[in-house]
Structure 1
Amino acid sequence: MNKNNRLEGKVAIVTGSGSGIGRGCALMFAAAGAQVVGADINATTAAETEQLAAEQGTPIRSLAPCDLTNPDDVQKLIDFCIEQYGRLDILVNAGAFGAFAWLEEMDYYEGWKRTLDGELSVVFLACQKAWPHLKQSGAAAIINFASANAHNAFKPLPAIAHCAGKGGVLAMSRQLAMEGREFNIRVNTISPALIETTATREPLENIPGFRDEVLAKTMIKRLGQPEDIGYAAIYLASDEASWVTGADLPVDGGSTAW
């Protein structure tokens, strides 16, 4: 991974750093010059990301296990970052959990409520606990993850809770952008389509025809990769995007454009 200095001098927290989009962002932000603090519920995968960062010559530190639905754990994450680096400039809320089931099959507690906690509450808590330090930054950026499912339904995916959670992230982020305007806190969302990760390989490999339907919906005929999202996140976190806030950036191979 080529190093550059687009985020030099900035301190970033990346949640969900143990896998998928979170791991991609953590590694890419570190390569772009940021001091990165990762967090994940899975201490083993978080440590693997730390090892990968060390191998690329851009060490990161992480707090794991960290339950992002627990306010005390989130506060510990923010405190850990401030103890390590004395400031916080960027918050990347990549950590999430979602349960997938059709409406009539969705369990209220283990499916619906757990997904809203795992996709929406985790963003609220991280933003709330980080906010005082982001105000002090003077030039802070929050990158939240909505989804193509926050805009469009996707026929083969039983995503009612996921749609609700990510739709909430999209709306909440616009409100946060308004609340952050006086402190130069920029808040933007990225809306990915399906990204190939450990979590998404299960439906891609086990649901007949699922991969073909995903590719049929995209204009660019390949699956998205965490790096595709990481490049967009670096832009939104960088000073190059200093006049971008309250925006939603679709990174979806064109899938929501037709």
Structure 2
Amino acid sequence: MVRGTRLAGKVAIVTGIGAGIGRGCARMFAAQGAHVIGCDIDAELAASSLAAAHAEGLHIDALYPCDMTDPAEVQRLIEHTVQRWGRIDILVNAAAFGAFEPIESMDYIEHWRKTMVGELDIVFLACKAAWPHMVAGGGGSIINFSSANAHHALDTSPALAHCAGKGGVLAMTRQLAAEGAPHGIRANTIAPGLIETAATRTPLDSLPGFRDQVLAKAMIKRLGQPEDVAWCAVYLASDESTLVTAADFRIDAGATGW
């Protein structure tokens, strides 16, 4: 892990640190000098992430299990952060859940509603709870995750609810940027393409031809890694990006650029 001072002294909340992009962001933020407070609904995965970070000499504080779809749990995370560090400079909403079902078999409650809660509500609740503390502190950086799927349709995956949820995050973040600008709050999205994580490894390894289909759409012929996304998040969280808000950064190997 590359060490640096790009986030030195900043207080960062990172949700979903148990795996994938959230884990990558938490580790990289800590390596760049931030005071990181993480959370995850999966206690075992969160503990594993903390142990791996500590083995590298990185310190990450965390609450787990913590269900970010529960307003009371969200408030607990925010209060814990403010009590420990006195402010919130950065909010990285990496935690998410989405169901992948074709419309003909999609259940309204089990698939559609759970995805809206797991991809839209989860972002709204964290932003709402952190907002007054960012206002009181003179501003901050909110980093949300849309997706390449918010920009193009998929012919290899039944992603209707997921595309709707991530499209909603994209639109919501633009409005957060408008409402936050007078308070010094910046809000941006990162739109990853397919990133190789524990969640995506199963379809990549088990669905015939899926990996080749993903790479065929990419200009750069390799799969993304959590660190590819985390470097973009470091930029958006740092003072290097103080003029950047309402922007969407596509980290997708050029897949949406054709």
Partner of 1:186: 186
- Within a 5 Å distance, the mapping from 1:73-222 to structure 2 comes to 73-222=73-222
Q: Which amino acid aligns with 2:135?
A: K
- What corresponds to 2:3 in structure 1? 3
Q: Which residue of 2 aligns with 1:232?
A: 232
Runs (4 or more) in structure 1 with deviation over 4 Å come to none
Query: C-alpha distance in 1, partners of 2:204/2:116?
Result: 24
For 1:7 and 1:136, the matched residues in 2 are separated by 20
Task: Show the counterpart of 1:22.
Answer: 22
How many aligned positions are there?
Answer: 258
Alignment-mate amino acid for residue 51 of structure 1: A
Quote the Cα distance in structure 2 between the aligned partners of 1:133 and 1:139: 9
1:120 partner SS: helix
The match for 1:69 is 69
Return the letter of the residue paired with 1:148.
A
Counterpart-to-counterpart distance in 2, 1:52 and 1:175: 37
TM-score by length of 2: 0.99
Within 5 A, what are the aligned runs for 1:24-63?
A: 24-63=24-63
Shift of 1:48: 1.1
- Please give the alpha-carbon distance, in whole angstroms, between the structure 1 residues aligned to 2:69 and 2:139: 27
Q: For residue 171 of structure 2, what is the amino acid of its counterpart? A: A
Displacement of 1:86 = 1.3
Calculate the aligned-residue CA RMSD, in Å.
0.7
- Could you list the per-position Cα deviations for residues 57-95 of structure 1 after superposition, in whole angstroms to 9, with x for gaps in the alignment? 221110111111100000001011112211110000000
1:139 CA displacement: 3.6
Match of 2:249 in 1: 249
